[in-house]
Every structure is written in C-alpha cells, then in structure tokens.
Chain A
Amino acid sequence: MDISLAAVLPQLFTGLVLGMLFVLLAIGLSLIFGLMTVVNFSHGALYMLGAYFTVFFLGYTRSFWVALLMAPLMVGAFGLLVERFLIRRLYGRSPDDPLLLTFGLSLVLIETAKIIWGKIGLTLDPPRALGGAVDLGFMSFPAYRLFVIAVTVAVLIGLWAFLTRTNVGLIIRAGSRDPLMVRALGIDLNRVWLLVFGIGCALAGLAGALAGPMRGAYAEMGVTMVIESFVVIVVGGMGSLLGAVLAGILMGQVVGITTYFAPKLAEIMVFVVMAVVLLVRPSGIFGEAGLAE
C-alpha cells in the first residue's frame, strides 16, 4: 500500500472538510445545550433541510450565492418557530422531554421531505466559479472544498467575535453559567434562548447547504451526521465550544485516514475513539466534569 505523503495528504484534506461539517453541527448543538440544557435531536433533520432549501433557492433564483445565504436563514427562522411553539412548553420538565420531542420532530421532517422532494436523493452541482481544482503547489484539491473550509473558518471567527465582543454574546455566556443570576439582573432570558436556538439551527442549515454540492441531498442524510456530532461533543466536552471545534476536526481526520487504509472501518472508528475518550477522560477532552448532568 502506498503510504507516501502525496497519497495521504488529499485524505487529510478531505477529512478536514468533513471535520468542518462536524464542527458546524457540533457548535450549534453545544451552544443550545450549554445555554438551555436541551439536546436538539432534530439537528440532523435541519441539516437535511439546509441542503434541500439550497436546491430550492438555487432553482428559484439561479444563484448559488443567494441560495447559500437564504437556506441557513430559512432553517434558522424555522428553528425560531420550533423553540417558540414547541420547546418552550417543556421548560421545567425533565431534560429528556425536549430530546423526545425533537426526535418526533425529526421523524416528521424526514417524512415530509420525502413527500415534497421524493424518496430518491437529489444531486447538486457546485457553482461554476468553484467547479475546478486548485493547485496548492504540493497537490491539487477541488476548489469547492477549499471554499467550505474558508466559509467555516470565517463563520467560526464571526461567532467567536459575537460571543466575546458584543453585549448579547456576554449575556449568552453569562446565561450558560448562571441563568438565575442573569434573570435577577433583569434580563429576559426567553429572548436569549430563542436567539441561541435560532443561531444553532442556522448553523445546522449552513452545514447542510455546504454539504449539498459534495454529498447531495436526501431525506435521511442528517441522521448519521447528528449521531456523529453527538460523538464529537462527547469527545470534545459538552458546553465547550473550543472542544467542539477541535474534536470535530479530530473526528474528520479519523474518518479521513481510516477511509484510506480500511474504508469499512471508517464509520466504526469514530465510535472507537469515543469509547477510548470515555475510558480515559469521561468528561471529554475540554469538558468540565458534572456540567449539566
């Protein structure tokens, strides 16, 4: 087997692109969980909606760039409705209940997607400007995949700036530390929860929109992704955004490298890494023990 750097390097880059999708999904899940102790099972279905909305807006406006902007916004708007009319009714009940409700919601969304867009998946081409490959000097790599990496990095920097440099960001961080104190200071946390849930869902929609031209759009595309994003969070440590980013990249690499040496094991290795982390460091690499348990 050829294990020269030239052969492995494209795998590492492919793994990095997958890692970016994991990061976008895991950050959204982790943000929502950190603030609201809600595990959003429908995150995978929202990722799927992101891909289908991209197809829809692309057909409607003929512009990939408009579609890439509109799809996450629409998924985010849908997320606002979900929080306002469904999740909000469950505050104060067992943390299992939002998980159960969003599980039901993802069944409904998957079946609805099959009714609207059919059982067979749709394919989606990257925009012409990003159609070719870019010569990086040491190897050439599809331009669209480099674009995915760039968009994710830009979004992460934006999110980081939002959380650390703005007043709303400050309230979000304070709210995940000590919601009671934030309330006592006269801040309406309901609106903060609504906003954060919307942002988290929009990130899932963005991941789906970016994934569309690489992996196509099909109704069940989100299910394995959401389970693997859970694994990313368990490995990175729930509530830690830095942990979600690093664990997402790590998992992308694990899949990328295993795909090269033993393709059949790729899906399994993710869980093996999780089991090892659970043994060695149960709270995750960056997690604080006992957070929201």
Chain B
Amino acid sequence: MTMGAFSQLVSRHQVAAFGIFFAVFPFLMPYRSLASQVLIFGLFALGFNLLYGYTGLLSFGHAAYYGLGAYGTGLTLAKLKVGSLWLGLTAGPMLAVVGAVVIGFFCLRRRGIYFAMLTLAFAQLLYFVAFHLADVTGGDDGLRGIPLLPINIFGWKIDLENSLAFYYFALVIVWLAVAGLRRILDSPFGTVLQAIRENGDRASACGYDVNRVKHLSFVFSAFFAGLAGALDALRLAVVPVESLYWVTSGQVVIMTLLGGAGTFFGPFVGAGTYLVLGDRLAVFTERWPLVIGLIFMAFVLFLPKGIWGTLVGKLPGGQAAEAKP
C-alpha cells in the first residue's frame, strides 16, 4: 500500500485509527503509567484544541476545567464517599461544565487578546479558592484518599489497580471522547465553529449568534478538559492544588501547539512529545522545563503548525489524513 493510500485510509477512519494505535501504545512506552498520562493529557489538549484550534479562542486558563474535573471526581469519591466509580467520574466533568458556563459568560464579554488574559485570571481565582478552602480541598497538601473502586460490567469485576487495566479503562473513555469530538466537528455546529475562527464578522452576518456558539464551544471544551482531570484524579489517587495553577494551563497550551493546533491528532502527538521528552530530560536535569520552553519558543517562531500539522502538510496525500473526504 502506498503512503498516499494509507493516509486516505487513516483519514476515512480517524476514530478507528486512534483506537488501533493507542491499543498497542503502552507497549511502545518505557513504562505503563506514562502511557496513561499521555492518553489523559492528550484528552485535555483535545478539549483545549476544540476551543483554540477550531474556534480560534486562546484560553490561558484551561487548568480551571481540568482542576474542576479533578476536584469534582475527587470530592465525590473521597469526601462524599459515593460508592460508584461511574458517579464519581461523571461528577468531575459536570462541575467543569458548570464552571465553564459561569466563567465563559464573563470571559466572552471581551474579545481578542483580552479573552486569554481573562481566562487566566479566573483560573488563578479558582486556584486561590482551592488553596485557602483547605477544609474541603486539602489546600496545599492536595485532596488525598481518592479510592480507585473496581468496576463491574455485567458481573465481570475488573480491578483497576493494575496499571494496564487502568490504561485500557482510560482508553475506552478517551476513545469515546475522540469519537464525540469527531461527531461535533462533522456537525453543522462544528462547521460554524470553524467559520467563526476564519471570520467572526462574516459568521455573524450569516445570522449566527457568534457569542452563543463560542460559549457552547467553551463549555464543550471544558467538558473534555474536566473529563481528563477526572481520569487523572483516579490515576494519581490525589488532586494536587497545582492542577488549578497557571503552570497546568501553560502545559496544555504548549502540548497543543507542539502537536499542531487545529489538527485532529495534533493534541495527542503534542502530549506524547511533551511528556516523553520531559520524562527523558528529567533524568539529566531538574531544569527540564527550560528545554521545553526553548523548544516551544522555536515552534511559535518557525513551526507554528506544530509537528503533526507540518507532517501532514509534507506527506504525499497527507492533507487528506486531516481533511475529511
């Protein structure tokens, strides 16, 4: 099969291709928990990418929704002692959605570059709230004691403490989210998002309520970020207060741009690159964010399309791997 034909095949079955690649992914990684981390941060970046890459809104405060997702799930399981993993896993993204409805309302009152600064400010606000509300959130020590309950599917009990079992559990959920995103992008709503990114005034002139569409995109994006936070709370069994910190917001921005904003697979490529690179560099130096920062600056200057975005531009028939036929 030629390269071009392969790209065509991938483009027609993006969601399936994602599932197949990540089914073998843990065996390509140095250790299992890194594979889960790539999957979860890829989901976080996927949510961010919906807003930045497809709607054209740069949020510098996506830690807010990731953190709300993590705290939502963590509090439900650790403090409210709800005995169902599924309920806990649902509570996180729901909290993120509520947060996005409120914060999105405020942030979308200003456009352009203000939006980025406002999202950052509100994320920082949540960070300080979580930091000082130590009775509920554990404050600086983090929210501890989140149980990883076994799941029960038709009488088949699966213990998630096994790192490979947890990986595949996370993969099923992330795969559903990826399928969901593909569905959103293919819907008329997804087309309007991209129309707004290209020219907001024209979309408005076509009769679309641009602010409402942006707000919806913001909420969807937060849902994915919150789901990622919820999964990470289960993976780590703890929610560190740093999950709401600006560093976390910065991480998802870097990952998405490294991979390629506005491309379907870019967020996962970026999350993988960032985490594997960070993991390898940490062996040599504690100051590895310095290297990541320099690489990121080089990408903004010279490779604004990111790794995946540049690759699909170069490969024969590569464009097709991204664009829907």
Contact = CB atoms under 8 A, between A and B. Distances in A.
Given A39-B116, A278-B118, A107 B296 contact: yes
B247 to A, nearest CB: 9
Nearest to B134: A264
A168 to B, nearest CB: 26
Given A230-B121, A234-B121, A267-B128, A278 B109 contact: yes
Interface stretch (B11-19, B81-89, B147-155, B284-292): B284-292
A104 B121 CA distance: 18
Interface stretch (A13-21, A93-101, A199-207): A93-101
B293 interface: yes
A293 interface: yes
Contacts, number: 109
Contacts of A244: none
Interface stretch (A52-60, A130-138, A146-154, A268-276): A268-276
B289 A268 contact: no
Interface in A14-70: 33, 37, 39
B116 A99 contact: yes
A204 to B, nearest CB: 16
B192 interface: no
A1 interface: no
A279 B103 CA distance: 12
B125 A268 contact: yes
Q: Is the interface of B mostly helix, strand, loop or mixed?
A: helix
Contact of A224 (B116, B124, B293, B301): B124
A274 B117 CA distance: 12
A185 interface: no
A165 interface: no
A111 B290 contact: yes
Interface residues of A, number: 44
Given A97-B300, A100-B257, A293 B124 contact: no
A230 B111 contact: no
Interface in B254-304: 254, 257, 287, 289-290, 292-294, 296-297, 300-301, 304
A285 interface: no
Contact of A230 (B117, B287, B289, B296): B117
Contacts of A278: 106, 109-110, 118
A112 B121 contact: no
A230 B289 CA distance: 24
A81 interface: no
A231 B113 contact: no
Interface in A246-289: 264-265, 267-268, 271-272, 274-275, 278-279, 282-283
Nearest to A272: B125
A108 interface: yes
B246 interface: yes
A104 B109 CA distance: 27
Given A90-B301, A100-B253, A107 B111 contact: no
A105 B293 CA distance: 7
A230 B120 contact: yes
Contacts of B58: 96, 99-100
A46 to B, nearest CB: 15
Contacts of B292: 107
A95 B116 CA distance: 11
B218 interface: no
Given A96-B58, A268-B128, A105 B121 contact: no
A115 interface: yes
A112 B290 contact: yes
B325 interface: no
A78 to B, nearest CB: 15
A114 B111 CA distance: 35
Given A37-B113, A108-B297, A275-B106, 5 more contacts: A86-B297, A97-B304, A100-B58, A100-B296, A108-B293
The 9 closest A-B CB pairs, nearest first, are A107-B293, A111-B290, A271-B125, A104-B297, A108-B293, A104-B296, A230-B117, A293-B111, A293-B112
Interface of A: 33, 37, 39, 86, 89-90, 93, 95-97, 99-101, 103-105, 107-108, 111-112, 114-115, 223-224, 227, 230-231, 233-234, 238, 264-265, 267-268, 271-272, 274-275, 278-279, 282-283, 292-293
23 contacts: A39-B117, A86-B297, A99-B116, A100-B296, A103-B60, A104-B296, A107-B293, A107-B296, A108-B297, A111-B290, A115-B290, A227-B120, A227-B246, A230-B117, A267-B128, A271-B124, A271-B128, A272-B125, A274-B118, A275-B106, A279-B109, A292-B112, A293-B111
Interface of B: 58, 60, 106, 109-114, 116-118, 120-122, 124-125, 128-129, 132, 246, 250, 253-254, 257, 287, 289-290, 292-294, 296-297, 300-301, 304
